[in-house]
Amino acid sequence: MSPHRVWSSSQRGSDGLVTAGGSHSLTDDSSESSIPPHPLGIKPLGNKYLSDGKDARESSGHLQELPDELLSQVLEFLDSRSLRLLGYTCKFLFAFCLSDDVWKTIFLDSEFAKKSSFTWQGSWRATVLGLTPEKRIRIDCNNVYSDVLHRPFVCSYISLKNYTANIPLVNEIDRFENLTYSDFTESWSNKPFILTKCIQDWPVCRSWNLESLHKLYSDVSFRAEAVDWSFSTYYQYMMDNHDESPLYLFDKKFAEKMKIEVGKGEGTAYWKPDCFGPDLFELLGPERPAHRWLIIGPERSGSTFHKDPNATSAWNAVIQGSKYWIMFPPSVSVPGVYVSEDSSEVTSPLSIAEWLLEFHADARQLRECREGVCRAGEILHVPSGWWHLVVNLEAGIALTQNFVPRSHLSDVLSFLRDRPEQVSGFKRDITDPYNLFVERLKAEDPELVENGLKELAEKQMAKKRRWDIVVGNHADEEQPAKKSGFSFGFGFGEGEDEIP
């Protein structure tokens, strides 16, 4: 069953004219003028109070007793035949039974989900039922009032430009042509940046675009969230869907599947940029968690707020298209993103559009907010521990890789040692990733691991002292920074986000 949408009471205006949430009203907010009328004529619930006409809900029998959220969840238990037939009983239920969110769930539970190739018909419902355009019926549902039905439609048509353009100057992610490794280590490993002339020699920048991949790999199957689809099926989907959160192709085995070589050398497709220096997770060899992905998606696809796994840093290179990034340092509470006490669970609005509508304006006001657009031929650095949300402004292709630079070794050691239940990506038989990594580091460079552990101990001591100050524990009256001989900054980018 699909999870609940996040609905807050602020979505209903005091005037009852309920539209795109918060202060957004479809009728009076020109920033959302990109939103066409709903194809079935469905209206936001608040409009009911201004209408003098009929309410289709009243002819839906006992089902009208259910709140709309519950009704749509109940429908997810029906099979496709029952859902179709129920939809023919009245206009109100027709509107609910046409909802593509419900049909997506049915698709994913059906035999279809196991097939790599089939014909995408423009919607999940039309695909499950094999409905070509001429077979689709449209019933006028203009007296159906429901936020649950109207809201996803609004979210799938919001104009991204309203959120991603006009980035305040102070928020702009720094841009350089390129960086040296020493610049990176000394000044930039804790900050996001975009490099504009770093990956232009990559052969994939010249040879890959959606059409060329479609020609070369149409029968190759790639992972897109819960399904493995041939590229030709995914391509059809990409070019013709209006999902609020389009299915995102995110494949870690792409190099084997596409038979390409990665790394510097004759005939390779791309390589990691020099400026990030050695990647310490390479010492894990085959025991290393998945660390590189091919990412393909249509406009509006993307990644909701998260931190990258195991305190790794990452780079993300755009081959085609462009991506809007909004990022926050590790310790910031991002508006609309709720983190459990032990940081193991993150709850945020289900879709990127929902977050943009509800929280973007507040988030943008934060001093620590960083935003930028990474275009084709450019690469963006995601520092260890930073929150990020990413949305594709147009259909495109990207390559991403996670890595462990020397400057974040202590953060990664701390994560592996102190949050074992949150460590991810290691094979099941690796029961102690922390010790495995420490052993490999020792074998390579004993001093490096010693320094990493020392830095970690110092950071943790500083955090404890900071905590003592906050809670008024004056057991140690001397100034903590003076005593330990190093200073602890409260500025962002320190890489730590918790008080022990």
Residue with tokens 């007296």: 143
Q: Which residue is nearest to Fe ion (CB)?
A: 308
Strand partners, 176: 195
Enumerate binding residues for ligand AKG (CB under 6 A). 295, 302-303, 308, 314, 316, 323, 382, 388, 390, 398, 400
The rounded distance, in Å, linking the Cα atoms of 129 and 103 is 10
Smallest separation, CB 388 to ligand AKG (Å)? 6
For 325, the token pair is: 């990034």
**How many residues sit close enough to Fe ion to count as binding (CB under 5 A)?**
1
Q: How many CA atoms lie within 13 A of 337 on its CB side?
A: 26
Smallest separation, CB 162 to Fe ion (Å)? 24
- Locate the DSSP E strands across 134-286: 174-176, 193-195, 221-224, 227-230, 249-251
For 258, the token pair is: 């596409």
20 or 398: CB nearest ligand AKG:
398
124 or 324: CB nearest Fe ion:
324
CB burial of 320-338 (b: ≥16 within 10 Å; e: otherwise) equals: bbbbbbbbbbbbbebbbbe
Determine phi and psi for 302, rounding to 5 degrees.
165, -165
Determine phi and psi for 375, rounding to 5 degrees.
-105, 170
278's CB contacts (< 8 A; 6+ apart) are 405, 406
Residue 377 interacts with which of Fe ion, ligand AKG, none, CB < 5 to 8 Å by class: none
Query: If you write DSSP's letter for every residue of 246-276 in order, what string do you get?
Result: ---EEETTHHHHHT--BSSSTT-SB---GGG
Smallest separation, CB 339 to ligand AKG (Å)? 17
Task: Single out the segment in contact with Fe ion by CB under 5 A; choices: 198-206, 304-312, 365-373, 475-483.
Answer: 304-312
Residue 302 interacts with which of ligand AKG, Fe ion, none, CB < 5 to 8 Å by class: ligand AKG
Smallest separation, CB 306 to ligand AKG (Å)? 7
Smallest separation, CB 400 to Fe ion (Å)? 7
Task: Single out the segment in contact with Fe ion by CB under 5 A; choices: 147-155, 164-172, 302-310, 461-469.
Answer: 302-310
Residue 400 interacts with which of ligand AKG, Fe ion, none, CB < 5 to 8 Å by class: ligand AKG
The only residue of 101, 147, 279, 308 in contact with Fe ion, by rule CB under 5 A: 308
**Interface pattern 409-448 for Fe ion (x via CB under 5 A):** ----------------------------------------
251 or 308: CB nearest Fe ion:
308
Smallest separation, CB 190 to ligand AKG (Å)? 16
With H, G, I as helix, E, B as strand and everything else as coil, classify residue 318. strand
- Taking a C-beta distance cutoff of 8 angstroms, is the pair 414, 311 a contact? yes
Smallest separation, CB 284 to ligand AKG (Å)? 19
20 or 224: CB nearest Fe ion:
224
- Taking a C-beta distance cutoff of 8 angstroms, is the pair 460, 500 a contact? yes
308 or 411: CB nearest Fe ion:
308
* Interface contacts to Fe ion, rule CB under 5 A: 308
